[in-house]
Amino acid sequence: MNNSEQYLTVTALTQYIKRKFDVDPYLGHVYLTGELSNFKIRENAHQYFTIKDDHAVINAVMFRGNFNKIKFKPETGMKVRVKGHISVYEGRGQYQIIVDSMEPDGLGSLYLAFEQLKKKLSQMGVFNLPKKPIPKFPKRIAVVTSESGAVIHDIMTTVKRRYPIVQLILFPALVQGDTAAPTIVQRLKQINEMGNFDTIIIGRGGGSIEDLWPFNEEIVAEAIVQSQIPVISSVGHETDVTIADMVADLRAPTPTAAAELATPVLREQIENIENMQSRMIVAQNKILDYYRQRVNSYAQNVFLQHPERIYEVYMQKVDNYTTRLNQIVTSELRWYKEQLWNKETKFAQLSPKEQINKYQNQISNDVQNMTLIINKMLSNKRNYFSKQVSALDSLSPLKTLSRGYAIATDADGKVLKKTSDYQVDKAVDLKVVDGTVKVITKQISEDNNG
């Protein structure tokens, strides 16, 4: 018979295994190399992924605090080296590695991060943006660097020697460490908000890639690109090249070189001005001499000595042109008069008065002929009408009535023609020549001869 106390729950077994993993000294500090798989960055969160080689896969988790410390951007397929410890996730009963740190296998993490950011900015076209020109004669220069380093001392010494009239303002910032990049960005924004600077010098002395890393941060690169004031970058030594150097408007190999690029040499500029002044005086004298010679040459000119001779030729030309003009005008007037006379003659021949008289006579004759024709037509119509009236009168029933005949009608006006149309004791109207006679039918008899 089985004893139930011998059986463990899944939870109890998993917890027992987890404790074994946690107390195992060999699993508390594990150095692992492999290829990242199923890696997808979760912003501001813990990262879950797997690490694999040709024959095995292990689940991995890297908590947010540790993940934010790495400098490069992990990607699926990248070979990495990680440090951590092995543990068991009780919920799924799976063992996993808790990653404390990560770096690329074969390349330094900072170098890889540098190349990744460089590639990203290149794809965005940041390196191809037009560079802002550095003012040749600045009035105010802002310097972003450490207040305690040798950089500001070198810049001040160089500027004082070359161009002491410029105003140099230090904006102290951290140039090394995890908090350096935000400080540099803050200073750049502050300078741009003030706006009364001609040039910005940003930089620090030499050091390792770790020391120079704040100038490889993306936020610093963005601040330099967005600056409305030209930026000269001077980070490290001549052989050191940072992202800040690449995006700046001008790169200087050293802080001293940056100060030289930002300022002219005042003594040289004064000498140039003096030389230009001397050259200008010499050139001015040459110009004055040239014009004096021209004035003297003009003074020897015979026409300038006797200006009236200039007008003699022109007066003769004016007289000639006046004579020719009068001849041309006279000729033109004569021609136009002839043309006008010819037109007047033609108009007289084609006078509308004669045409009007002609048409008036023609109209008068036409009116007379039309009157005769109309009178003749009226006479013919009158004769024809009289004949028709006579013919109609001869057929008129009134003629018959005038000979003693009468027309009999009943009360409805119907003409009574036959004896059958009459009725005894019925009234009959007899139409005679001068009126109507109403009679009563007393007797009806038919004509047998009819």
> What would the pLDDT profile of 231-252 be if each residue is shown by its tens digit?
999 987 777 788 898 999 999 9
Q: Is the pLDDT of residue 262 over 90?
A: yes
Higher local confidence (pLDDT), 79 or 174: 174
When mean pLDDT is compared across 14-18, 156-160, 205-209, the lowest value belongs to 205-209
Determine phi and psi for 18, rounding to 5 degrees: -60, -45
Q: Is the pLDDT of residue 449 over 70?
A: no
Please count the other Cβ atoms lying within 10 Å of the Cβ belonging to residue 270: 10
Sequence-distant (≥ 6) Cβ neighbours of residue 398 within 8 angstroms: 433
Q: Is the pLDDT of residue 404 over 80?
A: no
When mean pLDDT is compared across 128-132, 149-153, 364-368, 444-448, the lowest value belongs to 444-448
Query: Band of the pLDDT at 71, cuts 50, 70, 90?
Result: confident
In this predicted structure, what is the pLDDT of residue 321?
Answer: 86
Token representation of residue 350: 């084609």
User: Once rounded to an integer, what is the mean pLDDT over residues 162-166?
Assistant: 92
Mean of the per-residue pLDDT values of the chain: 84
Q: In the chain, what are the domain boundaries?
A: 4-106, 138-264, 400-440
Q: Percent of the chain beyond pLDDT 90? A: 24
**Integer Cα distance of 140 and 198 in angstroms:** 6
Taking CA 271 as the corner, what is the angle to CA 265 and CA 275, rounded to the nearest 5 degrees?
Answer: 145
Contact present, 235 and 180 (Cβ < 8 Å): no
Kindly report the CATH number that applies to the domain delimited by 138-264. 3.40.50.10550
3-state secondary structure of 268: helix
Q: Is the pLDDT of residue 180 over 70?
A: yes
In this predicted structure, what is the pLDDT of residue 417?
Answer: 75
**Integer Cα distance of 279 and 268 in angstroms:** 16
**Integer Cα distance of 153 and 160 in angstroms:** 11
Q: Is the pLDDT of residue 225 over 90?
A: yes
When mean pLDDT is compared across 92-96, 303-307, 336-340, 444-448, the lowest value belongs to 303-307
Q: Is the pLDDT of residue 38 over 90?
A: no
Q: Percent of the chain beyond pLDDT 70? A: 91
Closest CA to 433 of 401, 408, 405: 401
Q: What is the pLDDT of residues 290-309, one digit of tens each?
A: 998 888 887 777 666 666 66
Q: What is the pLDDT of residues 187-215, one digit of tens each?
A: 999 999 998 999 999 988 877 777 888 89
Query: Band of the pLDDT at 337, cuts 50, 70, 90?
Result: confident
Contact present, 54 and 33 (Cβ < 8 Å): no
User: Once rounded to an integer, what is the mean pLDDT over residues 94-101?
Assistant: 90
Topology (CATH level 3) of domain 4-106: OB fold (Dihydrolipoamide Acetyltransferase, E2P) (2.40.50)
Higher local confidence (pLDDT), 141 or 411: 141
Strand bridging mode 140-145 / 167-172: parallel
In this predicted structure, what is the pLDDT of residue 108?
Answer: 58
**Integer Cα distance of 83 and 60 in angstroms:** 11
